[in-house]
Chain A
Amino acid sequence: GENVEQHPSTLSVQEGDSAVIKCTYSDSASNYFPWYKQELGKGPQLIIDIRSNVGEKKDQRIAVTLNKTAKHFSLHITETQPEDSAVYFCAASISGDKLSFGAGTTVTVRA
């Protein structure tokens, strides 16, 4: 089955700096790659997603890049703010329903 690896496990950045989280996947058939943000006491919330027919997608301060050849994708958060502090999960799937998740990255934005 699909195996998703996520790095780093923890990330501490100064407010205003950028944060980058990287994921790799194993199944070349995967074509859907969402990113979720999980705050304390809440479920994962979708923040951005990308499909394999697109190399990059941006939504305000958040961007995701996909390299199908290398089977890796990354989340970029620019101009980080304290409210960006959370656990971030990448995921991959073939059909969009059965997601395989990475282990998560705990992001801390220092004021």
Chain B
Amino acid sequence: EPEVTQTPSHQVTQMGQEVILRCVPISNHLYFYWYRQILGQKVEFLVSFYNNEISEKSEIFDDQFSVERPDGSNFTLKIRSTKLEDSAMYFCASNRDSNEKLFFGSGTQLSVL
């Protein structure tokens, strides 16, 4: 069964550093998303992306965050200057159409020290 792939599975960084989280969505999917889950809290929507542009973003997704689809297979989340509170599990997700089933990757655990 096709799956969403995320790398790395764990990322440790120093506060103020830039990080890039990488995702390979399912190949025939057109809609891409990032969610995050801070330890002990709910999974939260960050951003949705379609046709090479952001279609919706949450309050969390401020100017420190950006997303990109640099080629036909990858979808990345960049955090420009990480803060301690950015420590969380970041999930990439995709679906073929925005009202179809959403498939999640296994996540990247980001630890900001």
CB distance A41 to B106 under 8 Å? yes
Question: By CB atoms of chain A within 10 A, which of B4, B48, B58, B104 has the most?
Answer: B104
Min CB distance B73 to A, Å, is: 18
Q: Is the CB of B102 within 8 A of A46?
A: yes
Query: What's the tally of chain B residues with a CB closer than 8 Å to chain A?
Result: 26
Q: Does A98 contact B48, Cβ atoms closer than 8 Å?
A: yes
Closest Cβ–Cβ distance, residue B50 to chain A (whole Å):
9
Chain A residue contacts of B33, Cβ below 8 A: 97
Residues of B within 8 A of A49 (CB): 101
Q: How far is the CB of A36 from chain B (nearest CB, A)?
A: 7
Tally of contact residues, A, Cβ under 8 A: 23
The residue that A43 contacts in the complex, of B41, B55, B95, B104, with Cβ under 8 A, is B104
A65 to B48, CA, bound (A): 28
Binary contact track A23-42/B, C-beta < 8 Å → 1, others 0: 00000000010101000011
Q: Which of B44, B99, B106 contacts A42 (CB 8 A)?
A: B106
Q: Mark B1-12, 1 if CB is under 8 A from A, else 0.
A: 000101000000
Most B CB within 10 A of own CB, among A36, A41, A89, A96: A96
A28 and B103 alpha carbons, distance in the complex (Å): 25
Give the 4 A-B residue pairs with the shortest CB-CB distance, closest first.
Answer: A43-B104, A96-B99, A97-B98, A101-B43
Residues of A bordering B, CB below 8 Å: 4, 32, 34, 36, 41-46, 49, 89, 91, 95-104
Show 26 residue pairs from A and B whose CB-CB distance is below 8 angstroms, ordered by the A residue: A4-B42, A32-B99, A36-B104, A43-B6, A43-B91, A43-B105, A43-B106, A43-B107, A46-B101, A46-B102, A46-B103, A49-B101, A91-B43, A97-B31, A97-B48, A97-B56, A97-B95, A97-B102, A98-B45, A98-B48, A98-B58, A99-B43, A99-B45, A100-B45, A101-B42, A101-B44
